[in-house]
Amino acid sequence: MKSNSAPSPGGGNASFPEPIAIVGMGGVFPGAPALADFWRLIEEGRDACRPVPAGRWLLDADAIRSAVPGTPDAVLTQRGCFIEDPSLDGELDPMVQLLIRAGQAAFAEARTDNLKRSDVGVVLGNIALPTAAASALGDEVLAPLYEQKVFGRTREKPICV
């Protein structure tokens, strides 16, 4: 990426005074449990989208399907990109487990010789719908706040169970 800022003596530019290095990357994607598998999936033009696995959604995918965009409480498709991995069963939320797995892969790939830990930063990205645990937390904590702000009241019981 080209920068319009003048270089600084430290090798960066006026906006970022220090140079930035990406020293390790990791990822877990539908159809690609590791970053190399993800790039292969793209190179081969494969589609990781598939029918919703049985029991994945609380509601039956056939019952909530609508061909009309914008239909309330409906989906346009019964397909999606899902990560299925039996090793994700456990006490930690699956998103945390995926984060740990991707982080371990990134660190294993990184060049850490002469690493000054105080200069290390981590950037996390997540493109996913919430997990059941994240949804439950949102329902418990955020839904009452939202209802109070919008409706001026809070329900006795959460919306979702």
How many domains in the chain? 1
- Considering the domain boundaries, does residue 157 fall inside one? yes
- Considering the domain boundaries, does residue 139 fall inside one? yes
- Considering the domain boundaries, does residue 147 fall inside one? yes
Name, in order, each residue with C-beta under 8 angstroms of 50's C-beta and a sequence gap of 6 or more.
79, 80, 81, 82
Name the residue range of residue 146's domain.
130-161
Query: Average pLDDT, stretch 13-18?
Result: 67
Q: Is the pLDDT of residue 2 over 70?
A: no
Question: pLDDT tens digits, residue range 110-142?
Answer: 877 777 777 777 777 765 556 677 777 777 777
pTM score over 0.85? no
- Considering the domain boundaries, does residue 77 fall inside one? no
φ/ψ (deg, to 5) at 150: -80, -45
Q: Is 154 or 149 the better-scoring residue by pLDDT?
A: 149
Q: Measuring CA to CA, which residue among 82, 100, 78 is closest to residue 32?
A: 82
Structure tokens at 115: 């690493």
153 and 147 in contact (C-beta within 8 Å)?
yes
Q: Is the pLDDT of residue 11 over 60?
A: no
2 Cα distance to chain centroid: 28
Question: pLDDT tens digits, residue range 56-111?
Answer: 887 888 888 999 998 888 889 989 888 877 777 777 777 788 888 888 888 888 87
